[in-house]
């Protein structure tokens, strides 16, 4: 019965027609990400949720240039302005001045501004979206987590009492890890539609969605590709054949499952890149990736720094561990070409 209620309520939240802000969608996305990062834990801190919300909104504060050349400041709320987005924009503008490449960069380079904005995001989400996400009409229908504070509660009060976290209901973490890759495209589609409606622009053949959520089709700098090639001794990560030309950069854990461009999630491949597509891989490939990530961690991090790329070892390992730790028996796992194996259960990473 939990699965039925969970899926029904998740779809209702995503497809809610009377939504006046993207906050609930941001909270749901942040929760899906957070459970993958805290595998095995039933408690998710409000601080971690705020961090993931901030990471989602940070790139979305960029102006959007529509097909007609008109520049738009994207709106995330049906009213005139969003206090949350105003704070996130302040961080991004400060980050631009400090030449920060990402929200993670702002945390390291301008920590005071980052912490101030994170405080504001956490305070806003504790007061409203977190206690309201599971409300139907005036009735609370818990299907994700237990919250014992009412709408409008200040986060400082919760922190003083050691209650600044949500407690997931039984089995919810496991279900969100499994359902996350399927829910994310739906969340992003409805999120993009809301922004398009409130901003007064069209979706324009997915251009707006790509602007909001990024794309796996990015240009990888030559120093990054060269370093990966050297780390793999000029051979395909999957089949070990010599790489033709510069090879193809592949997301080891497919972008469609968990959007993650960190260098630790990148490998070089030949035609195996196309054959693998967005499939999960057999345990041998997982063990090889884990070994490369462990022995080459310093090289990957320094390469990312030199190339102006993102490095996030802990998050990448957590996402891979959560994904492969929740593989259902019978899942097809890719080995090579058209060769698949059937999973007998989870794979330990």
Nearest-angstrom CA–CA distance, 256 and 162: 36
pLDDT grade, residue 1 (50/70/90)? Answer: very low
CA 1 to chain centre: 28
Torsional sign, CA 203, 258, 119, 97 = negative
pLDDT grade, residue 212 (50/70/90)? Answer: very high
Give the tens place of pLDDT for each residue, 222-273.
999 999 999 999 999 999 999 988 899 999 999 988 889 999 999 999 999 9
Using the predicted structure, report yes or no on whether residue 215 has a pLDDT greater than 70.
no
Give the tens place of pLDDT for each residue, 114-136.
999 999 999 999 999 999 999 98
Alpha helices (H) along 283-339: 283-295, 297-307, 313-324
Nearest-angstrom CA–CA distance, 16 and 169: 23
Residue 70: predicted pLDDT: 87
Cβ pair 48, 75 in contact under 8 A: no
Residue 259: predicted pLDDT: 87
Lowest mean pLDDT among 51-55, 204-208, 239-243: 204-208
E strands in 13-156:
43-45, 64-65, 71-72, 135-136, 139-140, 145-146
Give the tens place of pLDDT for each residue, 71-91.
999 999 998 788 999 999 999
Give the tens place of pLDDT for each residue, 274-314.
999 999 999 999 999 999 999 999 999 999 988 889 899 99
Using the predicted structure, report yes or no on whether residue 221 has a pLDDT greater than 80.
yes
Q: pTM above the 0.85 mark?
A: yes
pLDDT grade, residue 205 (50/70/90)? Answer: low
Percentages of the chain per state (helix, strand, coil), in multiples of 5? 50, 10, 35
Cβ pair 234, 242 in contact under 8 A: yes
Give the tens place of pLDDT for each residue, 133-189.
999 888 888 999 998 899 999 999 999 999 999 999 999 999 999 899 899 999 999
Tokens standing for residue 266: 């990148």
Q: In the predicted model, what is the mean pLDDT of the chain?
A: 92
What are phi and psi for residue 21, nearest 5 degrees?
Answer: -160, 165
Using the predicted structure, report yes or no on whether residue 92 has a pLDDT greater than 80.
yes
Residue 203: predicted pLDDT: 73
């Amino acid at each position: 019965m939990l699965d039925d209620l969970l899926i029904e309520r998740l779809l209702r939240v995503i497809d809610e027609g009377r939504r006046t802000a993207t906050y609930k969608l941001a909270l749901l996305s942040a929760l899906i990400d957070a459970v993958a990062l805290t595998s095995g834990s039933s408690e998710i801190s409000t601080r971690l949720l705020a961090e993931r919300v901030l990471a989602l909104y940070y790139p979305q504060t960029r102006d959007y240039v529509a097909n007609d050349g008109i520049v738009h400041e994207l709106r995330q709320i049906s009213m005139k302005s969003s206090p949350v987005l105003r704070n996130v924009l302040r961080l991004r503008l400060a980050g631009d001045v400090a030449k920060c490449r990402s929200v993670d960069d702002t945390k390291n380079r301008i920590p005071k501004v980052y912490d101030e904005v994170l405080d504001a995001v956490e305070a806003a989400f504790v007061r409203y979206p977190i206690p309201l996400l599971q409300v139907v009409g005036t009735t609370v229908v818990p299907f994700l987590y237990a919250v014992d504070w009412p709408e409008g509660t200040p986060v400082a009060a919760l922190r003083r009492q050691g209650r600044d976290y949500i407690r997931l209901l039984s089995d919810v973490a496991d279900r969100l890890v499994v359902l996350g890759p399927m829910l994310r495209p739906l969340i992003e589609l409805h999120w993009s539609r809301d922004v398009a409606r409130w901003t007064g622009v069209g979706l324009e053949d997915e251009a707006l969605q790509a602007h909001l959520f990024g794309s796996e089709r990015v240009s990888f700098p030559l120093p990054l590709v060269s370093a990966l090639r050297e780390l793999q001794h000029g051979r395909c990560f999957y089949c070990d054949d010599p790489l033709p030309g510069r090879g193809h950069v592949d997301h080891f854990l497919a972008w469609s499952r968990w959007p993650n461009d960190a260098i630790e999630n990148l490998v070089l491949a030949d035609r195996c890149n196309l054959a693998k597509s967005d499939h999960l891989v057999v345990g041998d490939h997982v063990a090889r990736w884990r070994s490369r990530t462990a022995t080459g961690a310093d090289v990957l991090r320094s390469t990312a720094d030199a190339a102006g790329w993102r490095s996030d070892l802990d998050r990448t390992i957590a996402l891979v561990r959560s994904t492969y730790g929740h593989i259902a028996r019978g899942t097809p796992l890719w080995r090579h070409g058209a060769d698949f194996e059937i999973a007998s259960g989870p794979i330990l990473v």
